[in-house]
Amino acid sequence: MNFEIIFVLLGLIGMLVALIMDKMRPGIVLLSMVVIFMAAGIITPRQMVAGFSNRGMITVALLFLVSEGIRQSGALSTIVKKLLPEKETTVAKAQLRLLPLVSAISAFLNNTPVVVIFAPIVKNWAKKIGLSCTKFLIPLSYATILGGLCTLIGTSTNLVVHGMMIEKGLPGLKMFDLAFIGIPITIVGLAFIILTSKKLLPAERPDNFEEEETDVAVESGLHVVEVVLASRFPGLKRKLKDFDFKRKYGAEVKEIRQGGQVFTDNLGEVRLQQGDTLVLLADDAFTKTWGDSSIFLMMTNGKEIPTRPVPAWKKWTALALLLIMIIGATIGELPYFQESFPNVKMDMFFFAAVTAVVMAWLKIFPPKKYTKYISWDILITIACAFAISAAMEESGLAALIANFIKDVSGSLGAWGALALLYFVTLVITELITNNAAAALAFPLALETAQSFGIDPMPFFIAICIAASAGFATPIGYQTNLIVQGAGNYKFTDFVRIGVPMDLIVMIISITLIPLIWPFVPA
């Protein structure tokens, strides 16, 4: 190994350690590593900033706005409220009604707002109907992950891989390419959840403040409110005692749920993290003031958080725009339209841009606040991922690892290499972020395919699935982190049902991918 390979390898190991330790946001960790690679001459300044102009990355940003428009229109909450049964029912029957729709919606919208909208509604409904919310919140998160595997826009990871393919001069993914593998995975995955979650998921754990809530509510009008801290919360990485929460927000912190642990004593010593669930004592003014704030990712208080009424035309217009975007991006890829409009590339980027702008013009989301609806850390992570991938290729590290994968595969050949690459990508995504996992795996996929002299498409599809199908840990996917606190789950609750899910998805993927996308000569 030459110096550049050793340097990049050590840098990537350090990056993975930093991401696992979670001392800084993923975006700044990757940006730091990219700057180091540029300073060392591994990549050029042009390669460092190339990801910031990539169509895949910008498409992700535009889809954040589209998802926010759908969220603020109130269309999704209306749908789920009508879907949930009002009478007594069983866990399996309720899941059968809820989860397929959630997956279908998540195939076309960002997973996080879907969970943020549905989780409080489902939790309050379960309490009202006499069922345990813990039987629904992890399945809700998993259903969004499964749905995201079915389309190009289902998750940002797919768009990252799509953008990297285009950068390499390859055609990229079409809207429903992933549906051929994503739909079978979703059907089997949902069936597994419905059949096993009653046994594998825990019963609802008691609310420590249920009695206190009743007493305080009678005496002073306060009640318990649960909030999930978002990336914009100003007190992240600080101890609660160093951040005067009560003075800033007019609510008292009574409990902190973090990483599967519940803290009720010495709360001042707890260092706040993104995704923490805080149990507060607050009045109605708190929910009115902060219920739609980007400071908190989700808020629930045992009843529906009051929101501003939305005109019916906005709901229907938002849904119509989403439908036009999906249909337009799908038919725009057909040869007829490409020949008819040679100067306009009517792909997902085109229609996402048009949809986002029209939503802003119609004020379906507040246009003056559009920047708050974009997760900039995710965009920076994605943009830097392109430079990380370039460093792996330029140094020769990607080719070295690809040859190692080929040697380890032995007599299993390309199929064995596909399985090994899938497994490595899955492990990385369970430990860090899905977009970083895809970035690290992409050059390996390309080099591995080239070492076999075959079409790289099967390997690209494998890393799309593996980088998004993180079920076994709450940190594997942001939606898992959101429902962990909301459902008061422990880390082991995810392991118990998530590891079998990981294995099921992996087996289906490495079995079907070579059948759908054969290992043909490049």
Options 3.30.70.1450, 3.30.465.10, 3.40.430.10, 3.40.50.12780; CATH for 210-300 is 3.30.70.1450
Nearest to 284 by CA among 313, 310, 251, 317: 251
Alpha-carbon distance 107 to 122, whole Å?
A: 20
Cα 375 to chain centroid, rounded: 11
Asked if 178 contacts 151 with a C-beta cutoff of 8 angstroms, the reply is yes
Q: What is the pLDDT of residue 303?
A: 55
Amino acid letter, 261:
Q
pLDDT band for position 499 (cuts 50, 70, 90): very high
Residue 273 is inside which H or E element, if any?
none
Domain locations along the chain: 25-34+43-72+319-388, 210-300
41-89 pLDDT, tens digit per residue, is: 999 999 999 888 888 889 989 998 998 898 888 888 777 777 777 777 8
> Exposed, middle or buried, 520 (CB in 10 Å: 0-12/13-18/19+)?
exposed
Asked if 143 contacts 469 with a C-beta cutoff of 8 angstroms, the reply is no
Alpha-carbon distance 102 to 262, whole Å?
A: 29
For residue 2, pLDDT beyond 90: no
- Write out 231-258 in H/E/C secondary structure: CCCCCCCCEHHHCCHHHHHCCEEEEEEE
Rounded mean pLDDT, 340-352: 81
Q: What is the pLDDT of residue 210?
A: 52
Cα 415 to chain centroid, rounded: 28
- 3-class state of residue 225 by DSSP: strand
170-191 pLDDT, tens digit per residue, is: 888 988 999 999 999 999 999 9
Q: What is the pLDDT of residue 150?
A: 94
Rounded to 5 degrees, φ, ψ at 280 are -120, 155
Nearest to 363 by CA among 311, 320, 399: 311
Nearest to 63 by CA among 109, 111, 115: 109
Q: What is the pLDDT of residue 302?
A: 56
